[in-house]
Structure 1
Amino acid sequence: MSKNTFAVAMTYCGAVIGAGFATGREVVDFFSGYGNRGLAGVGLATLMFVWVGVVILDVAQRNPVYSYLDLLNYVLPWKWLVSLTDLIFLATLLTGVGVMTAAGGTVLKSWGLHYSIGCAGFLLLCILLLRTGGKGFVKANCWLVPGMAVAIVILCIAQV
């Protein structure tokens, strides 16, 4: 597997895990309580995420797509729908940053530091990553995502 392929895969997996779709809580709430049907649900959700990822990469490779707005303009038929989708993405991202900032503060608070220090530290880390452009974000995903995946598997095994 090439370095670029690995980077794209880790960034996509990071988005899925980071969005909460692959964390332990969602697995317990939506799948594990349903036995074999729940396991089939995990398989179906996995196939859907793979399918969506492949379709997006295929569209981006075959067309002049250099940003998510280019992608939206290509796949959505009306300009107003592109604008609405962009606004929804913005609201979702801002909400996500708020939740993750609070989580960063809570984690460091559990380690004995002040909550505000954790929040500020998380935001500083975000700013530093954003200043590197896409390269820093992709590099961070290449390190963080395998660790998160291993942690999720360990937590799932520990729950059994």
Structure 2
Amino acid sequence: MNNQWVRIFSISGAYIALLIGGAFATGQEAMQFFVGFGNKGLIGLLICGLLMIYTCFSLLRAGKQNDLRTNEDAFRHFCGRYLGIFMTWYTMIMIVAVYGVMLGGVGATLEQAYGLPVIFGSGLMAICATVTLLLGLNKIIEVLGVIGPVIVVLTLATAITTLFDGSLALNEGARISGGLEILKASENWFFSAILYAVFSLPGLYGFLPLVGTTIKSNFEVKGVSLFGPLLFIGAMTIVFLALLGNIQSVYNAEVPILVLATKVFPVYGSIFAVVIFLGIYTTVTPLMWTICRRFALEHSLRFRLLAVTLTLICWFGGNLLPFGQLINLIYPSIGYIGLILMACLIYKDVSQFINKSS
């Protein structure tokens, strides 16, 4: 395998790891954005996948062509000076909020799996993430590139086993899902799919363009843009089907995928909690790196103090509300800002295409 394919798989793994996180690995994203809409959620996943391919390609290409090394560079490039400044600060605030949500997700997972106090689980994750932050971007990409695919494989193994264990009832799940009290990102299935495709953009604006500066060929840009999003959406689709077919058992659980894992094999449920832990770890680490790097040079004392201080604040905030409520409160609101960022992305690309053609 040549170096280009190695780079494609490594960067795609980091992309997947960034998107997977705790909400994916716990099943809450699938529940709130897709499962609650029954069969229409499957169409939503297709729409979402196409949009994610476009955004990944556009951000990587922009970073490569324009040497966008910070999230502020990326926001100004796509959104202009003033809106770019606003987006920079808004995104930093929301990333910190997501960090808190993810820490809460660890607490909920370890409590459900092992009966540990929520504050202990979130504290353990806070320590692991902070230590990794201090190692720097290159080490983060290396770690995520390995862990990301592992999480996908184990999550899919759980979902696929559930799909073929003989208890799946997709038609029944699709029929009753609309009548169950499921937290939803939006009341409209199409808009919910759009929100899911764009709610990760505030974080990706700060991560993908910077990664794009390290990519050496257009082939790598195209390879990552196809492989990363398609694998992620494929994984989400399998999780969607598994949850929909077991909707009666999982619709009111804080960690739905853990219910499936326990159903497959009780001991495996406890083991799978570690997978969810890793999924959350892969999300919070690169997101917080973009924030700390914005205000300080990597490996500097200021960078380290900022990483520790923000982690302590998020650890406290992540224990204020249940995990599911935190996601329902934070994620859809980020999606609305993501819509603006998507509009800026499309406008910039169309403008550049017209200028080149004229």
The answer to whether the Cα contact below 8 Å between 1:11 and 1:138 also exists between their aligned partners in 2 is: yes
Measure, in 1, the Cα distance between the counterparts of 2:26 and 2:77. 32
Distance change >3 Å, CA 113–CA 51, structure 1 → 2:
same
What is residue 91 of structure 2 aligned with on the other side? 89
The answer to whether the Cα contact below 8 Å between 2:10 and 2:146 also exists between their aligned partners in 1 is: no
1:22: Cα distance to partner? 8.1
What is residue 137 of structure 2 aligned with on the other side? 134
Measure, in 2, the Cα distance between the counterparts of 1:24 and 1:113. 20
Measure, in 1, the Cα distance between the counterparts of 2:65 and 2:95. 27
Does residue 74 of the first structure (1) align with residue 77 of the second (2)? yes
Does residue 123 of the first structure (1) align with residue 109 of the second (2)? no
Where in structure 2 are there 5+ consecutive unaligned residues? 163-241, 246-358
What CA deviation, in whole Å up to 9, does each residue of 1:13-53 have, x standing for no partner?
22222284686333344435442x43332111111111100
1:112: Cα distance to partner? 4.1
What is residue 39 of structure 1 aligned with on the other side? 42
Q: Which moved more, 1:20-29 or 1:101-110?
A: 20-29
What is residue 68 of structure 2 aligned with on the other side? 65
What is residue 18 of structure 1 aligned with on the other side? 21
Match of 1:102 among 101, 104, 110: 104
Measure, in 2, the Cα distance between the counterparts of 1:11 and 1:50. 15
Match of 1:151 among 154, 158, 166: 154
1:135: Cα distance to partner? 1.9
For CA contacts below 8 A with separation 6 or more, give which structure has more relative contact order: 2
1:130: Cα distance to partner? 0.5
What CA deviation, in whole Å up to 9, does each residue of 1:105-146 have, x standing for no partner?
333334244433322211111111111111222122122211
What amino acid is aligned across from residue 15 of structure 1 in structure 2? L
What amino acid is aligned across from residue 123 of structure 1 in structure 2? A
Distance change >3 Å, CA 119–CA 23, structure 1 → 2:
closer
Distance change >3 Å, CA 118–CA 30, structure 1 → 2:
closer
What is residue 7 of structure 1 aligned with on the other side? 10
TM-score, normalised to structure 2, is 0.40
The structure that has the greater radius of gyration is 2
Measure, in 2, the Cα distance between the counterparts of 1:81 and 1:63. 19
1:73: Cα distance to partner? 1.8
The answer to whether the Cα contact below 8 Å between 1:16 and 1:22 also exists between their aligned partners in 2 is: no
Q: CA RMSD in A?
A: 2.5
Q: Percent identity?
A: 20
The answer to whether the Cα contact below 8 Å between 1:60 and 1:66 also exists between their aligned partners in 2 is: yes
What amino acid is aligned across from residue 12 of structure 1 in structure 2? Y
What is residue 203 of structure 2 aligned with on the other side? none
